[in-house]
Amino acid sequence: MSKGTFDHSGSSFDSFLDEEGIREEIEAVAIKRVLAWQLENAMRKLRKTKQAMARELHTSRSQLDRLLDPRNAAISLDTITRAAKVLGKRVTVRITDAKPQRTRHATLLKTRSRTASRSPVTRATYRGGF
């Protein structure tokens, strides 16, 4: 390995993004891509053109294009909510706990303990519990 490079083997993708300092930006873009995809699918199902959609939103076609641009994460929640309403949809926002950082060592220990403790009784109880 050359000097100045970092060996990411064994680390999670989330920890890599944290180390690079880009996790929040990547997550925002991913969320926006999903929202843009959902809005476009709803428009397609309703056979609603961009021009008609912009008219119902009382906005310009270029503003609608920014809303539907999956790379543009700088769209307000109000704009997304109004677009969803025009399409007969609603927006649901949820805040959850951040996942705790998992180290490779902790993951290995958890995996080993799960495989070591499996017995017919444990598996039967597990299947019966769901």
Indicate the helix (H) or strand (E) that contains 25: helix 23-45
Q: Indicate the burial class of 32 (C-beta count within 10 angstroms; 0-12, 13-18, 19 or more).
A: buried
* Contact of 40 with 84, CB cutoff 8 Å: no
Residue ranges and CATH numbers for the domains of the chain are 13-93 (1.10.260.40)
More confident residue, 61 or 21: 61
Flag whether pLDDT at 3 surpasses 50.
Answer: yes
According to the model, what pLDDT value does residue 25 have? Answer: 86
Flag whether pLDDT at 103 surpasses 80.
Answer: no
According to the model, what pLDDT value does residue 99 have? Answer: 72
pTM: 0.63
Q: For every residue of 64-130, which 3-state class applies, written as one string?
A: HHHHHCCCCCCCCHHHHHHHHHHCCCCCCCCCCCCCCCCCHHHHHHHHHHHHHCCCHHHHHHHHHHC
Flag whether pLDDT at 104 surpasses 60.
Answer: no
